[in-house]
Amino acid sequence: MRDVAVLGVGMTKFGELWDRSFREIGIEAGLQALVDAKLSSSDLGALFLGNMASGSLIDQEHIGPLILDYAGLGARHLPAVRVEGGGASGSLALHQGYLAVASGLYDFVVVGGAEKLTDVPDATGNQITSSTADHEWEVVFGGTLPALWALIARRHMHEYGTTREQLARVAVHAHEMGAKNPNAHYRNKVSLEQVLGAGPVAEPLGVFDCAPLSDGAAAVVLGPMETARKYTDQPIRIAASHVACDAMAVQHRRDVTTLDSTVVAARRAFDQARRAPKDIDVAEINDAYTISALVALEDLGFSEKGRGGPDFEAGRFALGGEMPVNTSGGLKAQGRPFGAVGVAQVVELVRQLRGTAKDRQVPNATLALAHDVGGTGATSVVTLLEAAT
Amino acid sequence: MSIARFWRETPRRYNLGGSKCTMCGTVYFPPRAVCPTCAHHRESIGKMVPFQLSGDGEVFSYTTVHEAAEGFEMQVPYVLALVRTVEGPILTGQIVDLAPEEVRIGLKVRATFRKLREEGRAGVIHYGYKFAPAEELPGPRPGGPRAAVGARTAPESDRASA
């Protein structure tokens, strides 16, 4: 296995992109990444595309060749593969692209993530995203993604004393960062009082505790580290990429308040890179629901179990804090186009490691972590990225 | 959901039929073909036997849902819970027959046979388990006594309503 580098990145604005089609946003992100990498499309060996539910959302399956075709590469007959893992589809695609380059089979690949969630009404969108939980034993009994995460939240509050205010802080932080990100779905700040006073979705979670349904696409170009400097002045090495899975339903987990998939994916990633949580300078973590972020901080090893809430409240993870998280605005404010999320996390972290994140820049960031979750935690993907010295 | 997709799960959804690993004794719901926790994982293939849950348990976690799942729009706000059964498995289901603000972690509950949802006015009606309080609570209770599901008593009818 050889070292793999991120050579270029691109992404569309996230949000309600009613005037733009799935293929348009997919192509925009991919072409941006190619141009950023100073690479020609004739160099490419394969395309991996993360996407959760194009069939239900836009009545279009088989989207690998669709995007390849409209990227102008149809006649080159490259392999184009769609990768699905619920909300973790994008980072699962990244993992496949990483393996493909690391193995030596391909030199350069594009990894994209795209989702078009606002072409359907909200209720339909929520129904489709809920199918990333266990439909037969959770959804049929009245479960939705926010309701299932609310069950995790209530138990976390019961066992560790996590407070409603601590949950709300996650949303306040996300919107603060989103206000600094021109690509974000939401660029408005929100106050603690606004989060606490918003209408309930599934108690204790309210409207502001839940990430939106967004449209958007993101892409990265990967290539071998050994020749990376021919294509970029600032190659970013993928120091680790790991996937771990767990029981599909919350009810079957070893511990309802822990995502073992995250614990294991993180352990594998830190082992591969021979690094530890304390070495991370900046992270993009899953904050699909405010509770998701607090649990993630614990499961990734940044907080002791049960201390995610107090640590977040103390400002440890704010910009200027010990280890800033979700400088992009996270899923909450940057937006949640499911299949694009994991790739967009890497786009943000590459900008941080290059030092081009402008007024959301974490000073001297050299090691970064991305954490992506599918469903309520049946799949977790952890990626470590390192600025090449 | 197609009729067959719901119908084939009725032994589980109506009667709480689970399974038990004869190697390690762990009980599962819904039933499994192989034991996920058994030290003899491979040897448990073909050694799982049917096991009937009693329907008794307690609330492990809960949420009051205001934005409903599909087919549950007419029931909001409804309480969804994780119920830890006395046999071990945790089930996801609604808590009924008491006000949402009366639900708490640790509340003793018992499975009860109810209508889950219907697919529109002319569609299939889905039945299955929900959970009602199994302990004395202060204040009047909505509705009367209901048929329990599980080993305690077999459902008398499949025409119960929510």
SS (H, E, C) chain A: CCCEEEEEEEECCCECCCCCCHHHHHHHHHHHHHHHCCCCHHHCCEEEEECCCHHHHHCCCCHHHHHHHHHHHHHHCCCEEEECECECHHHHHHHHHHHHHHCCCCCCEEEEEEEECCCCCHHHHHHHHHCCCCCCCCHHHCCCHHHHHHHHHHHHHHHHCCCHHHHHHHHHHHHHHHCCCCCCCCCCCCCHHHHHHCCEEECCEEHHHECCCCEEEEEEEEEEHHHHHHCCCCCEEEEEEEEEECCCCHHHCCCCCCCHHHHHHHHHHHHHHCCCHHHCCEEECCCCEHHHHHHHHHHCCCCCCCCHHHHHHCCCCCCCCCCCECCCCHHHHCCCCHHHHHHHHHHHHHHHHHCCCHHHCCCCCCEEEEEEEECCCCEEEEEEEEECC
- Please give the Cα distance from A247 to B70 (Å, whole number): 23
**Mean residue pLDDT across chain A:** 97
Say if CB A385 and CB A349 are below 8 A apart.
yes
Instruction: Look up the ipTM and state it.
Output: 0.96
Average pLDDT over residues A176-192: 98
Between B136 and A361, name the one with better pLDDT. A361
State residue B56's pLDDT score.
98
Average pLDDT over residues A287-291: 98
- CB-count exposure of residue A366 (10 Å: 0-12, 13-18, 19+): middle
State the nearest Cα–Cα gap between A373 and chain B, in angstroms.
21
Q: Which residues of chain A lie closer than 8 angstroms to B117, CB-CB?
A: 140, 142
Which of B34, B35, B67 is the best mutation test for A, with the most CBs of A within 10 A?
A: B67
Of chain B, the percentage scoring pLDDT greater than 90 comes to: 65
pLDDT single digits (tens) A3-21? 999 999 999 999 999 999 9
Q: Which residues of chain B lie closer than 8 angstroms to A144, CB-CB?
A: 65, 67-69
Q: Where are the domains of chain A?
A: 4-121+214-236, 132-211+239-387
CATH no. for A4-121+214-236: 3.40.47.10
Average pLDDT over residues A97-109: 98
pLDDT single digits (tens) A223-254? 999 999 999 999 999 999 999 999 999 999 99
- Please give the Cα distance from A293 to B28 (Å, whole number): 30
- Position A50, amino acid: G
pLDDT single digits (tens) A56-77? 999 999 999 999 999 999 999 9
Average pLDDT over residues A25-31: 97
- Position A217, amino acid: A
Whether residues A202 and B65 touch (CB distance < 8 A) is answered with: yes
Q: Which residues of chain B lie closer than 8 angstroms to A204, CB-CB?
A: 63
pLDDT single digits (tens) B146-158? 555 665 544 444 3
**Topology agreement, domain A4-121+214-236 and domain A132-211+239-387:** yes
Q: Is B92 on the interface with A (CB under 8 A)?
A: yes
- Please give the Cα distance from B7 to B148 (Å, whole number): 20
pLDDT single digits (tens) A190-204? 999 999 999 999 999
State residue B137's pLDDT score.
77
Residue of A nearest to B5 (CA): A136
CA torsion angle for A275, A111, A129, A247 (degrees, to 10)? -40
State residue B140's pLDDT score.
61
What confidence tier does B160 reach under pLDDT thresholds 50, 70, 90? very low
What confidence tier does B141 reach under pLDDT thresholds 50, 70, 90? low
Name the strand (E) or helix (H) holding B24: none
- Position A90, amino acid: G
Res B112 pLDDT > 60: yes
Whether residues A127 and B93 touch (CB distance < 8 A) is answered with: no
Residue of B1, B78, B92 lying closest to A137 (CB–CB): B92
Least confident of A36-45, A100-109, A112-121, B145-154: B145-154
State residue A134's pLDDT score.
98
Q: Is B90 on the interface with A (CB under 8 A)?
A: yes
Whether residues B69 and A202 touch (CB distance < 8 A) is answered with: no
What angle do the packed helices A290-299 and A260-273 form, to 10 degrees?
A: 50
Least confident of A259-268, B17-26, B151-160: B151-160
Average pLDDT over residues B134-155: 60
pTM value surpassing 0.80: yes
State residue B151's pLDDT score.
56
- Please give the Cα distance from B83 to B106 (Å, whole number): 9
State residue B159's pLDDT score.
37
- Please give the Cα distance from B52 to B151 (Å, whole number): 6
Of chain A, the percentage scoring pLDDT greater than 70 comes to: 100
Q: Which residues of chain A lie closer than 8 angstroms to B89, CB-CB?
A: 251
The CATH fold of domain A132-211+239-387: Peroxisomal Thiolase; Chain A, domain 1 (3.40.47)
Residue of A nearest to B125 (CA): A140
Q: Which residues of chain A lie closer than 8 angstroms to B82, CB-CB?
A: 151, 155, 250-251, 256
State the nearest Cα–Cα gap between A253 and chain B, in angstroms.
9
pLDDT single digits (tens) B4-15? 888 898 889 999
- CB-count exposure of residue B9 (10 Å: 0-12, 13-18, 19+): middle
Q: Which of residues 123-162 of A touch B (CB under 8 A)?
A: 123, 126-127, 130, 136-144, 146-148, 150-155, 158
pLDDT single digits (tens) A329-380? 999 999 999 999 999 999 999 999 999 999 999 999 999 999 999 999 999 9
Res B162 pLDDT > 50: no
Q: Which residues of chain B lie closer than 8 angstroms to A260, CB-CB?
A: none
Average pLDDT over residues A96-119: 98
State residue B153's pLDDT score.
45
Whether residues B90 and A251 touch (CB distance < 8 A) is answered with: yes
State residue B41's pLDDT score.
81
Whether residues A251 and B91 touch (CB distance < 8 A) is answered with: yes
State residue B119's pLDDT score.
84
Whether residues A154 and B30 touch (CB distance < 8 A) is answered with: no
